[in-house]
Amino acid sequence: MSKFQKVRGMHDVPLDQSSIWSEVIKKLASTLKSYSYSEIRLPIIEQTELFKRSVGDETDIVNKEMFTFDSKSKKSMTLRPEGTAGCMRASIEQGLLDQGNQRLFYHGPMYRYERPQKGRNREFYQFSAEAYGNDTISIELELIQIAERIISFFKVPDVSLEINSLGSKEAQDKFSLELVKFLTPLKDKLDEDSQKRLITNPLRILDSKNTETQKILISAPRISDFYSSESAERYKNLKNSLDELGINYQENHNLVRGLDYYNDIVFEWKSEIIGSQSALCAGGRYDSLSKKLGGRDMPAIGFSFGIDRLILACQDAFNFSKSKKLTIIILEESLLNFGANFSERLRDALPDLEIRFSGLDINLKSQLKKAIKNNSDFAIIIGREEVESNSFSFKNLSKDNNQERLNEEEIISKLKQLI
Ligand code: HAM
């Protein structure tokens, strides 16, 4: 019988890495909680129209990369390619925007039909923060500080923060017109994608990796020429604060992001160590999204960490304290119930210890071998005589031949000291 393989671009986490994933997500959640963000849980499937209206009809994500299908009632559905739109949809639907400022976080898999390569999958995991109701740069600063804290906690190598301001939506429209005017006579020299974007999404031409296009862009108009005084002031104030706080950044005038909802400040953290897919966290301000989705006027800003890339960038340099392991072995089948109960009592008393009960496999030698292979730190051996005398063999497997006889209470207090 032929075996199954995972679908191209989907992501199995190898067993020896799954604890890294849980610890990374645990750390991000506790960091966000410490800044007073609350977890919002969101569905993976949304109406296709939600992404068309928010991420944008003319973006690559919506045009080429969505996993879209018809429901049984012939409604167009999509596996979320990102979470910002769904988070805003849910916040409007649940009335959260009527309850004042919100600081939210969520995490989970996202789906984009991209060409898989190192750091790029069709299923990938994001951890995101979104803050609603604050239109001052204090919230830009807060999000940048959170991301910096996370990056420095994980000691991500070779990271740089790039920032840009896209100005208001009106500024983007004016700039796009000027850019098209400037590039149209040079159309034939542009790469194929940029030629198409000249009609569909001119701003994204700035993102082109093609060297010829990049050369042409050097003398193109700059979006900064179109900032309103308010946008220019906001950008200047943010840079001043970053300087004062000693947060390193580079300005990248071509940082335009692949989603249409942004205005003003956008940011990306890159680590060259990942290769060409170097962005490991990205986001920005998106003040018009709420209204576009039928909500009230509501300033908003957020970021998403790509967890696959964060873990890739750190390679194996994670140093989480692992929980200790105990194996409980019985020497007679008739002691099954006693062993099962004994294990339960120890789990009640020592919730941080991983306890594996060997069950009906009563071969002591093979059980000890398995315990060592399973990286067990301790073993408790229970025979008939031990049960009758309430005195069990306790082995510290990390110390050779260290075996002693202890009763149940002594075992519990000994383990409390050791773990
Ligand atoms: P994004 O830049 O499209 O932004 O994605 C954010 C992060 O998700 C990227 O920096 C990257 O780490 C990761 N990522 C994206 N695509 C892939 C992929 N195919 N494979 C692996 N990782 C990937 C957003 O999604 C916005 N919703 C961010 C945001 C939140 N803006 C405001 N709030």
**What pLDDT, in 10s, does the model give residues 373-411?**
989 999 999 999 999 999 999 999 987 768 899 999 999
| Best of 28, 67, 82, 127 for a ligand 1 pocket test (most atoms within 8 Å of beta carbon) | 82
pLDDT value for 145? 97
**Residue 54's Cα: distance from chain center in Å?**
21
User: What is the share, in percent, of the chain residues with pLDDT greater than 70?
Assistant: 99
pLDDT value for 401? 63
Atom of ligand 1 nearest to the CA of 283: 31
**Is 0.85 surpassed by the pTM of this model?**
yes
Query: All domains of the chain, ordered by start, with CATH?
Result: 15-168+246-314 (3.30.930.10), 170-226 (no CATH), 325-418 (3.40.50.800)
Helices 18-34 and 307-314, packing angle to 10 deg: 110
Q: Is the per-residue pLDDT at 319 higher than 80?
A: no
**For the chain, what is the mean pLDDT?**
94
Q: Is the per-residue pLDDT at 55 higher than 80?
A: yes
Does residue 87 line the site of ligand 1, with CB under 6 A?
A: no
pLDDT value for 16? 83
Does residue 114 line the site of ligand 1, with CB under 6 A?
A: yes
pLDDT value for 398? 83
Give 109-150 pLDDT, tens digit per residue. 999 999 999 999 999 999 999 999 999 999 999 999 999 999
Q: Is the per-residue pLDDT at 320 higher than 90?
A: no
Does residue 256 line the site of ligand 1, with CB under 6 A?
A: no
Give 204-247 pLDDT, tens digit per residue. 999 898 999 999 999 999 999 999 999 999 999 999 999 999 99
Ligand 1 center from residue 82 Cα (angstroms): 7
Q: Whose CA is nearest to atom 16 of ligand 1?
A: 120
Q: Are 10 and 110 in contact (CB under 8 A)?
A: no
Atom of ligand 1 nearest to the CA of 84: 27
pLDDT value for 343? 98
pLDDT value for 399? 74
Q: Which two tokens stand for residue 186?
A: 């040079």
